[in-house]
């Protein structure tokens, strides 16, 4: 369960560390928790990390957080879901700051997810910012001066193909890869579980002292949280394989059987998570499909 004490005021720039502030966007929901965290990194030249959703109020909050001696010089986007990236365009127009990201919304998509698209599979309604177009495409391991701070960009696909984490000293801005209040959604064809597990291990190897995620409070024990997340996914995998031991099944029926405590309104997201597991298990030759790679396809255990 999410911690009850994380409920910062909306639109207020709160200091988290020297040269780092957070502004909470006004978009709370079951998928975004209290809302999207926008980070302001720097002292004089400011880098904005994840500007957030389209919101005049949030745009004003970001601009008003900078005093007369400060200017926004960089806009960094972890990934292009509609709760993270759309405001980047307006912020760029208003400040002249370029937008940095791995690429547009279809960048970094795995071959397995491309195969899902070929069958006509659509997204799960998580909200893709299809218009997202960064000015600067970052590659894995790119070092850049973001505002007046040094940052390393790491490509961490899984939650979405164009997902990046930004390392600042011993802190990492990890977007939606790891969150302290919930496990991350992996929803084909934009999210790939094989990539997600690999990216979690990659993030763990950075040995960060703190993770600043896209939603929720800072994660003060990154290793423990990442280990929990990996174990959680492995547990779901075991549940799916156990359920398939009785015969072939599709993602929706497996989700209903496994996610027994999940509200009905979130079963669609649970089905997407199960489908992501099934595609991952197929890649590991532990299950096989009876049909094309869609949510309605029957899978059987090998």
pLDDT digits (tens, 9 = 90+) for 1-10: 444 579 999 9
| pLDDT confidence bin for 119, thresholds 50/70/90 | confident
Which pLDDT score is estimated for 121? 77
Contacts of 51 (CB under 8 A, 6+ apart): 38, 58, 59, 62, 75, 77, 84, 85, 86, 87, 88, 91
Which pLDDT score is estimated for 209? 98
Which pLDDT score is estimated for 291? 81
Which pLDDT score is estimated for 125? 66
pLDDT digits (tens, 9 = 90+) for 123-164: 766 799 999 999 999 999 999 999 999 999 999 999 999 999
Average pLDDT, integer, range 266-285: 91
Which pLDDT score is estimated for 124? 67
Signed CA dihedral, 213, 218, 222, 225: sign only:
negative
Q: How far apart are CA 122 and CA 130, in angstroms?
A: 13
Which pLDDT score is estimated for 73? 98
What is the pairing mode between strands 14-17 and 20-24? antiparallel
Contacts of 293 (CB under 8 A, 6+ apart): 112, 115, 116, 119, 121, 279
With 80 as the cut, is the pLDDT of residue 122 above it?
A: no
Strand partners, 22: 14, 39
Which of 32-46, 59-73, 111-125 is predicted least confidently? 111-125
Which pLDDT score is estimated for 2? 47
pLDDT digits (tens, 9 = 90+) for 162-213: 999 999 999 999 999 999 999 998 999 899 999 999 999 999 999 999 999 9
Which pLDDT score is estimated for 19? 98
At 104, list the tokens: 């547009």
Average pLDDT, integer, range 47-55: 98
Q: How far apart are CA 290 and CA 269, in angstroms?
A: 23
Which pLDDT score is estimated for 267? 84
Which pLDDT score is estimated for 264? 80
| pLDDT confidence bin for 268, thresholds 50/70/90 | confident
pLDDT digits (tens, 9 = 90+) for 213-250: 999 999 999 999 999 999 999 999 999 999 999 999 99
Mean residue pLDDT across the chain: 94
């Amino acid at each position: 369960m999410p911690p009850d004490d994380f409920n910062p005021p909306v639109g207020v720039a709160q200091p988290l560390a020297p040269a780092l502030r957070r502004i909470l966007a006004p978009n709370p929901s079951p998928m975004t928790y209290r809302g999207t965290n926008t980070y302001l990194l720097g002292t004089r030249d400011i880098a904005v990390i994840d500007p957030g959703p389209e919101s005049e109020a949030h745009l004003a909050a970001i601009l008003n957080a900078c005093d007369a001696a400060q200017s926004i010089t960089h806009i960094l986007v972890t990934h292009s879901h509609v709760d993270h990236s759309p405001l980047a365009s307006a912020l760029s127009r208003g400040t002249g700051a370029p937008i940095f990201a791995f690429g547009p919304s279809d960048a970094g998509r795995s071959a397995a997810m491309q195969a899902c698209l070929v069958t006509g599979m659509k997204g799960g309604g998580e909200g893709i910012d299809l218009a997202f177009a960064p000015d600067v495409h970052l590659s894995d391991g790119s070092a850049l001066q973001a505002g007046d701070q040094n940052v390393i960009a790491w490509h961490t696909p899984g939650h979405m193909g164009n997902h990046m984490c930004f390392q600042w000293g011993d802190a990492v801005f990890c977007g939606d890869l790891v969150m302290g209040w919930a496990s991350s959604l992996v929803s084909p064809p934009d999210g790939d579980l094989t990539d997600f597990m690999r990216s979690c291990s990659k993030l763990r190897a950075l040995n960060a002292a703190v993770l600043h995620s896209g939603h929720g409070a800072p994660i003060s024990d990154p290793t423990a949280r990442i280990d929990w997340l990996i174990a959680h996914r492995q547990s779901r995998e075991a549940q799916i394989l156990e359920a398939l031991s009785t015969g072939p099944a599709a993602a929706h029926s497996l989700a209903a059987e496994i996610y027994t405590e999940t509200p009905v309104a979130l079963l669609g997201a649970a089905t997407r998570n199960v489908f992501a597991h099934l595609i991952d298990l197929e890649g590991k030759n532990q299950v096989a499909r009876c049909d094309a790679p869609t949510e309605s396809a029957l899978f059987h255990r090998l």
